[in-house]
Structure 1
Amino acid sequence: MPDMDNAVDIIIIGAGPAGLTAALRLQQLGYRVQMLERSATWPRPQIGEALTPGVKNIIDMLDANEALAAVPHLAGLSTRLRWRSTTPEIAGHGDAAVINRAAFDAALLQLARQRGISVCMPARIEDISGTAGDWQLHISTPAGRQQITARFILDAGGRSNGAQQYACAPRLSAMWVELEADQVFNNIAHNIANEMANLTQVEALEHGWLWGTRLPDLRYRVMLVSDPQTAHQKMPGQAENWLRWNCANSELFKTIAQVPYASRLQACTATPYLALDSWQDGRLKLGDAAFALDPISSSGVEKAMRFSLQAVVAIHTLLGSTDSNRYECHDRYELARHFFEQRLTETCARHQYWTQSYYAQAWCSEHPFWQSRAGIATNCADGAVAGDDHPLVRAMHEQSAQLRDYQPAELKPLSTFNPCQPLRIHPAASLAESYCVVDDRVQKQLALSHPNLERPISFLENQALFPNLNFLWQPQPLAHVLLKLEQSMGRQTSQKITAWLWQRGVLESLA
């Protein structure tokens, strides 16, 4: 069959949540999108069933609530933890949701097709040639061979073992299996069965941790996350025995240690990493192709989708202008690249900081598995060529150090505010440049930096702080402050911003 030529703005490789989020958002912004998915079987079986609350905002932005309404899910689940101590505790209080990930992905894909996004599946990429702005892809599909021309390529094709991966923590592996609900719940005490059916459970053990939850199809999934080297040393080639042994030596999962498995045991690497080649001229990586997070947070799906939205902002900054001035084009390129890489390293740094802190809180934190994951050092994955001297790795370490050094200030009660005293910006404050999103494009804005702020801020209450606050470098009466701010943002907003900055010590009162 002869080649069929197609021209689009963006080609997206991979139809998981990251790729589909990018496709739906790009189409909202008016781009022609072509999706390529290599899998012949759809929907694909997936792990990562837990959805954190932030996914709701992303679904709202994509206007996808109706499409996902029928996806099987369990909402309002709390979490039972045996983590900080050997006594289990209830956490979350109904924040967690567990979904059928295959159905979730399938619903997003169907929505993309309904909105006119072209999807080729199964599709195998034979060759990529060209340069940024003029890519040519030759692909094979059941319908024949095709050539597609695109201005930009997004790789959301999932985890790979490329040499440009930097491991953000010591190695982890995950193994999981599903059990029939009646096998889990019928042979244990009614009160325990009821709790297991309505709670997600997480338990720290000497050599790793266990996660378990009831799935929307009423099966029960249990997962063990551990160090693959320890598993090999203790029970080489005996993955099922290793999982059962850990369940048997747990408090929350011992009742299911010998329950027959209803699915085959599966395993995958779970080491968090950063792909150092995520930005290339005209080609970006998304989702697991760009980074992977430690599964302890259960936020991997949300973070992948959120980062896709940020990548779309970078692309729209590059492609969404008709200005062909080469200096303007260079400025847009630098804005987009810095924004993309900053968001990428920040995502990994924040997660690394949080997971190290969380691993340090475990009741068994004196054991080697936990000590290695609670430390501040990172190491490269086996076979990786990049190290601490790479700019992205240095940026990630710097951001992690800033998070460790940051100490939130105690908020001053508004009842102690004296309206008769003049206000000014605290002398410890300074101005910094920050990359912000304005009208779906990256802009460089002045930001207010202060030791009491976790990061420099450019906007509060959707209002740019500068130049609005420039006059406050000198002492001003409160009435003048509010009157001047009201002219640009209204009375209620000006009062909120003034109070917020004063409570955090960014504004100070002068006697």
Structure 2
Amino acid sequence: MADVCVIGAGPAGSVFAARMAQLGHQVHLIERKRFPRGHLGESLSAGVMTLLRAADMHETVEAAGFPAVRSVWVKWADGPRLREDASEKGVLVDRGEFDLRLLQRARTFGVQVHQPARVLEQNWDGAKWRLTIDADGTSKCLDADFVADASGRRSISPGRQTRTGASTLAVYGYWRGASLPSMPRIEAGQDGWYWGVPLPDGTYNTLAFVDPAWFRSAPGSTMSERFLGLIGRSSLMEECGDAELIAPVRAIDATPYLARDYVTPTTIQLGDAAVAIDPISSSGVQKAIQSALSGAIVANTLLRRPELSHAALGFYRSHLAEASERHRRWTSGHYREVADTCDRPFWRNRSPSRAAIEPPPLPAIDARALITTPMALSPKLEFVRTPCLQGDFVSLASALHHPRLAGPLVFLGGRELAPLLQRLPPGQTPLQIAQSWSNSMPLESGMAIAGWLVSHGILVERPDQGGARS
């Protein structure tokens, strides 16, 4: 058992603390504010509840009865449309209540919570971290083998991060009224984009994402005037004549970045303390929880299997860097959609060329080719020993490296790929390949994996064969 201190009790901090306690460690969670406290990020993407289920923290959130997202009104490059979510897996939450419930659940796993509390001093003496904290006016000292920083953007100084996108400011305000929108709204404007979120308490949050320098020079002598001018240029508040702001307009930095040195043998950064993705992805909370879950396995490996420290550190570094780059490319594509028709600085500065964000397409393949075309492994494919998560630890496994893949790939559909492919004789059709795997998986699963490998250029038509191309 190791002593672990976690700084910050947002979603990343509470989930990490809970997982470390589940893994048998003694955990202290330090949070400077009293809960519940307000926070942006009230619209949660569909993957959040799946991740919370993996940490056994879903039931407390489900019990809150937060409303599901059934549809979103979208006005983007292709014009206004209603985007329906038949599965209703997205959730609209009161972040104060959401964060409080995660913290309370962490307590049930034995996490010791210090709140309100702030770290006054933190030093490494060569064997332990020594933390001095002010816990509601009382000074306390904590010793820790490992420290996790989940305190968000405020913990990152400008010199300790690499910006991964254009500077972005989120300006927002909360409204009340009798005729507020009942569903989220997303809209592209000329000089930024807008997001409206109806909240469980009947209020409505409107956000404008703009370039900071442009916003400072926008018409209006105060931030509120400039914000209201922006919102008036959108359709977020259409037919809301009786609505009124119920709190001062605020602004926060929403620039995406990747921190430097976000993991060492005795420390780790989680959530926004490690990586911030562009808000257009609407998955910041999901990404924070993902970093907490993977970070807990990394920390557990560093503490219990120091011989695998190099693999654990390498995994977390590559995992966050690849996730940051994947989101950057994805969001660039969304900005490009608008930039193609709106030649304004906001969109141009966020839109690389299509060649930079879209890999060249593979030749088409039809269903018959999956049955009749002899295949072989791509000559560009490599098998490389790569750190990956296996159970409660980071270990080394053989991964697929290929130009068509976003990063090293170990598992697909819950199956380890390298053992399946390294023994693969050339000349078999995808159907025959799937049949050869039938002793370890159903034929349908094998066909799905074989088809995916073909579509990503891992399996290619044998050079000496004619006919359908794959």
TM-score normalised by L of structure 1: 0.81
2:106 to 112, 118, 132: 112
Corresponding residue number in structure 2 for 1:175: 171
The answer as to whether partners of 1:170 and 1:373 remain within 8 angstroms in 2 is yes
Deviation at 1:106, TM superposition (A): 0.3
> How many percent of aligned residue pairs carry the same amino acid?
30
8 Å CA contact 2:30, 2:117 repeated in 1: yes
Distance 1:227 1:125, change over 3 A: same
Q: Using a 3 Å threshold, how does the CA distance of structure 1 residues 448 and 89 change in structure 2: closer, same or farther? A: same
Cα root mean square deviation, aligned: 2.8
SS of 1:446's equivalent in the other structure is strand
* 1:97 Cα deviation after fit: 2.2
Q: 1:182-221 counterparts in 2 under 5 A?
A: 182=178, 185=179, 196-197=181-182, 199-221=183-205
Alpha-carbon displacement from aligned partner over 1:309-348 (angstroms, at most 9, x marks no partner): 1111211221133xxxxxxx3x512111111111111122
**Partner of 1:63: helix, strand, or coil?**
coil
- Identify the residue that residue 165 of structure 1 maps to in structure 2: 161
Q: Which amino acid aligns with 2:367?
A: L
State yes or no: 1:359 paired with 2:335.
yes
Q: Distance in 2 between matches of 1:503 and 1:230?
A: 43
Deviation at 1:507, TM superposition (A): 3.0
How many residues are treated as equivalent by the alignment?
458
- Equivalence map 1:153-302=2 (5 Å): 153-160=147-154, 161-162=156-157, 163-182=159-178, 185=179, 196-197=181-182, 199-235=183-219, 237-256=221-240, 259-302=243-286
Distance in 1 (alpha carbons) for counterparts of 2:296 and 2:169: 31
**Alpha-carbon distance, 1:213 to partner:** 2.2
1:11–1:150 CA contact under 8 A, matched in 2: yes
Which of 342, 361, 368 is the matching residue for 2:318? 342
Counterparts of 1:8-157 in structure 2, within 5 Å, are 9-39=3-33, 41-71=34-64, 73-85=66-78, 87-93=79-85, 95=88, 96-131=90-125, 134-142=128-136, 144-157=138-151
Q: Which one-letter code corresponds to 1:367 in the other structure?
A: R
Aligned equivalents of 1:144 and 1:49: distance in 2? 33
CA distance in 2, matches of 1:492, 1:54: 25
Q: How far apart, CA to CA, are the structure 2 residues paired with 1:352 and 1:293?
A: 7
Please report how far the alpha carbon of residue 24 of structure 1 lies from its aligned counterpart in structure 2 after TM superposition: 1.3
SS in 2 for 1:126: strand
Structure 1 window deviating more from structure 2 (20-29 vs 251-260): it is 251-260
Displacement, 1:351? 1.6
Assess if the C-alpha contact under 8 Å between 1:72 and 1:100 holds in 2.
no
Once residues 422 and 357 of structure 1 are traced to their aligned partners in structure 2, the CA distance between those partners, rounded to angstroms, is 35
Amino acid at match of 1:229: A
- Between the aligned partners of 1:445 and 1:233, the Cα distance in structure 2 is 53
Answer yes or no: is the 8 Å Cα contact 1:158–1:289 preserved in 2.
yes
The 8 Å contact of residues 75 and 186 in structure 2, kept in 1 or not, is answered as: yes
Displacement after TM superposition at 1:494 (Å) = 4.5
Alpha-carbon deviations, 1:37-84, whole Å to 9, x = none? Answer: 111x31111111010001021111111222112335221332112210
- The answer to whether the Cα contact below 8 Å between 2:8 and 2:29 also exists between their aligned partners in 1 is yes
CA gap of 1:297–1:471, structure 2 versus 1, over 3 A, is closer
Q: Deviations over 1:93-144 (max 9, x none)?
A: 3554211111000001111112221001111222212256511112222373
1:384 aligned partner = none
Q: Is the CA contact (8 Å cut-off) linking 1:449 and 1:455 kept in structure 2?
A: yes
Which consecutive unaligned segments of at least 5 residues does structure 2 have?
Answer: 466-470
Deviations 1:422-462 (A, max 9, x none): 55323343323433211132222222334444444222332
Aligned equivalent of 2:366? 413
In 2, the alpha carbon distance for the partners of 1:333 and 1:371 equals: 42
Contact 2:172/2:206 (8 A) holds in 1? yes
Superposed CA deviations along residues 161-199 of structure 1, whole A, max 9, x for unmatched, are 5121222222211121111131xx1xxxxxxx6xx21x2
Structure 1 stretches lacking a partner, 5+ long: 1-6, 186-192, 322-328, 377-399
Q: Report the equivalent of 2:459.
A: 507
Distance 1:129 1:296 in 2: 38
Q: How does 1:440-479 map to 2 (within 5 A)?
A: 440-472=392-424, 474-475=426-427
Aligned residues of 1:158 and 1:288 also touching (Cα < 8 A) = yes
**Contact persistence 1:172–1:226 (CA under 8 A):** yes
Tell whether the 8 Å contact from 1:24 to 1:112 is kept in structure 2 after alignment.
yes
Deviation at 1:217, TM superposition (A): 0.4
Between the aligned partners of 2:15 and 2:314, the Cα distance in structure 1 is 21
Asked whether the equivalents of residues 128 and 136 of structure 1 are also in contact (C-alpha less than 8 Å), the reply is yes
Match for residue 324 of structure 1? none
Aligned counterparts of 2:324 and 2:460: Cα–Cα separation in 1: 34
